[in-house]
Amino acid sequence: MATIGLDKLYYSKITEDSNGEETYSTPLVLAKAITAELSVELVEAILYADDGAAEVVKDFNSGTLTLGVDDIGPTAAADLTGASTDDNGVLISASENVGTPVAVGFRAKKANGTYRYFWLYRVKFGLPATNLQTKADSITFSTPTIEGTVMRRNKLDAFGKHPWKAEVTEGDAGVASATITGWFTEVYEPVYTPVP
């Protein structure tokens, strides 16, 4: 079903242990969401045999998340891009700044009134783009965009795989209400029942 809205844009700082496995902090509001565009890049390998394709493998390589937001405050800018705030409260961006990966969560409203929820487990953002325009005969809002590379996380799930995204639709069969109500209180961790 098509989506007709976007809101609840959160991020969670990542701490890595000595093995590089991620632990997520309590999610924080990133900004008010205007747009979110996620594109995915796959790695493809084709094995040819007997004059045709015998095997095709397509794996997740990376993705690009482009966010249009109302404003990126100094705290979120520092967490996402590595910028710092000086003693006078001025956000300072330096050429040496390197942001650390964060998890990003949001939800999209569907036409039937329910929501589809997302967590991207590891996103590394670049510097936000700023578009400014003089006021003329009409008022045009200028808002920042920020682009990040979506990567798989280092932490393995119960099947020995590296998740890169969690997605759930409110009201789908098997979706517990606690999953939806707790979606933005912490970054969602996959839950699997052990197979005997």
pLDDT of 36 > 70? The answer is yes
Give the Cα-Cα-Cα angle 110, 111, 112 (nearest 5 degrees): 90
Contacts with 137 (C-beta within 8 Å, 6 or more apart), sequence order: none
Provide the phi-psi class of 8: left if phi over 0, else alpha when psi is between -120 and 50, else beta.
Answer: left
| Stronger pLDDT, 188 or 62, i.e. the higher one | 188
* Average pLDDT for 28-32: 92
Confidence of residue 85 (pLDDT cuts 50, 70, 90): confident
Between 14 and 3, whose confidence is greater? 14
Query: What are residue 83's phi and psi, to 5 degrees?
Result: -65, 165
Higher per-residue pLDDT: 62 or 167: 167
Rounded to an integer, the average pLDDT of 137-153 is 81
The number of CA neighbours under 13 Å toward the Cβ of 91 is 15
| pLDDT reported for residue 61 | 85
